[in-house]
Amino acid sequence: MSAKYHVAIAGATGAVGRMMLSILEERNFPVESLRLLASARSAGQEMSFKGESIKVQELTEDSFEGIDIALFSAGAGVSRQFAPCAVQSGAVVIDNSSAFRMDKDVPLVVPEVNAHAIRPGIIANPNCSTIQMVVALKPIHDKYRIKRIVVSTYQAVSGSGQKAIAELEQQSRDVLSGRPVKANVYPHQIAFNCLPHIDVFLDNGYTKEEMKMVNETRKILEDDSILVSPTAVRVSTFHSHSESINVETEEPVSAEDVKSLLKDSPGITVVDNPGNNEYPLAIDAEGKDNVFVGRIRDDLSNEKAINFWVVADNLRKGAALNAIQIAEQLGR
């Protein structure tokens, strides 16, 4: 990547925006200039990038003049309002919200899976739980053709933002101290608990989070015939999402073949030595870029199916890092 870019981060003061800023610096992304944008109440804050203090500006429709790449890490409403303005100003928008993911004219991209879909305009970043799953699924789908996926997610509270992290911290203190527990972010206590409820319930009995995994997986893998049966659960961990995945393929598949296949695939680290208690853990994935896969084993009930366990940092690969990796592809 030889060119340098004028970059903006919309939603720079939020958890994902801050992570984007950090990863731009970590990966030495070729930034010519950096514009940090947020709501009026956050404007004026100072943030650091490569030792330089940058003042956060208020996000407006005129914020993107002269910008090449606009990274959006605010909510869907903000993206719908301001992303078209950024494109009209000449920027490529990489949007982390759900606003454009299922728009037929907007590519939904995970670089290890479908970098070929990247093009100017708006590029959507998938949902965090979908990203880590499709990174693991892509090599399997290419070789064996996936027919059906049964996935259960175990998702960290950081996926709900800073308020959820604070709530888990406070509830944990209250439980251990014998004090009454108050739930504000979630409908029930999350500390020392599991909630089979992420986002709103839909008429079909599934949550919006679960249906994201169905629809986004098909779009990213470019195969509407893939069947997906999801259950999304919020658990009392702070960072990194974990997933139990069963995959049925068109051709007979073996765990040993899949293990070898994944070891040679980009963005994946295989941790699979159960005899030594070695398998992916949420605490080990925190702060790491790769998707971790382990407990790869044959399905005892079906010779055309396997089971495995997938873990990734939801704020890095599940959000900020994936967006930066898309930006890196623009210069290739």
Which entry of 128, 188, 194, 197 is annotated as an active-site residue?
128
* Domain spans of the chain, in order of start: 5-126+319-330, 131-314
Q: How many angstroms separate the first and last alpha carbons of the chain? A: 6
pLDDT mean over 299-324: 97
What average pLDDT does the chain have?
Answer: 97
pLDDT at 1 over 50: no
pLDDT band for 2, please (50, 70, 90 cuts). Answer: low
SS3 state at 47: strand
Class of the CATH domain delimited by 131-314: alpha beta
pLDDT at 274 over 80: yes
pLDDT at 331: 74
pLDDT band for 291, please (50, 70, 90 cuts). Answer: very high
CB atoms under 10 Å from CB of 218, counted, come to 15
**Could you report the per-residue pLDDT of 73-117, keeping only the tens digit for each?**
999 999 999 999 999 999 999 999 999 999 999 999 999 999 999
241 has catalytic annotation: yes
Nearest to 125 by CA among 139, 142, 113, 137: 113
pLDDT mean over 187-207: 98
pLDDT at 152 over 60: yes
Let me know if the fold of 5-126+319-330 is the same as that of 131-314.
Answer: no
Q: Could you tell me which residue, 1 or 191, shows the higher pLDDT? A: 191
SS3 of 135-181:
HHHHHHHHHHCEEEEEEEEEECHHHHCHHHHHHHHHHHHHHHHCCCC
Which entry of 6, 141, 239, 241 is annotated as an active-site residue?
241
The rounded percent of the chain whose pLDDT value lies above 70 is 99
pLDDT at 299: 98
pLDDT at 332: 72
Nearest to 93 by CA among 132, 105, 57: 105
pLDDT mean over 285-304: 97
pLDDT mean over 204-211: 98
Name the residue type at position 327: A
Return d(Cα 244, Cα 234) in angstroms, integer.
14
5-126+319-330 CATH, one of 1.20.1300.10, 1.10.10.10, 3.40.50.10420, 3.40.50.720: 3.40.50.720
pLDDT at 205 over 60: yes
pLDDT band for 281, please (50, 70, 90 cuts). Answer: very high
pLDDT band for 17, please (50, 70, 90 cuts). Answer: very high
Q: Rounded to whole angstroms, what are the CA distances from 167 to 39, 170, 173, 197?
A: 24, 5, 10, 17
pLDDT at 3: 85
Residues listed for the chain: 332
